[in-house]
Structure 1
Amino acid sequence: MKIAEVGNIIEFKDGLQGIVEKVNENSVIVDLTIMENFHDLEMEEKTVVNHKRYKILNNDAL
């Protein structure tokens, strides 16, 4: 299992996408505001995703 790094874009939970802001031991903190339809989803700006529950879409870490 490849662990995301800060700046990676990940996908999780049936299509939600976000940019990794912080990497923890078992999870990452993700900023969801990069999604075009973010305001339509009525979600918090950030969320925590377990390493087992996402796939990395963009490896261009900051």
Structure 2
Amino acid sequence: MIKKAKVGDIIEFKNGLRGIVEKVNENSVIVDLTYMENYRELDLQERTVVQS
């Protein structure tokens, strides 16, 4: 069973990317990727949308 994320939760997705949930929508969440120390090295944007 998949647990519904809440604002402030740290989630892991897409082969190990991790971030902090900033906003919860109906079927997606907005995640702050700056939680990962190497997000710049991975050439990622600061935020992304993760859909369920």
What TM-score do the two structures reach when normalised by structure 2? 0.92
Counterpart for residue 4 of structure 1: 5
What residue ranges of structure 1 are gaps of 5+ in the alignment? 52-62
Q: Which runs of 4+ in 1 moved over 6 A?
A: none
Say if 2:26 is the partner of 1:16. Answer: no
What residue ranges of structure 2 are gaps of 5+ in the alignment? none
Task: Between the two structures, name the one with larger relative contact order (CA 8 Å, sep ≥ 6).
Answer: 1
Quote how far apart the aligned CAs of 1:25 are. 0.2
Q: Which structure features the higher share of helix residues?
A: 1
Quote how far apart the aligned CAs of 1:15 are. 0.4
Quote how far apart the aligned CAs of 1:48 are. 0.4
Aligned residues, how many?
51
- RMSD in angstroms over aligned alpha carbons? 0.7
Say if 2:45 is the partner of 1:44. Answer: yes
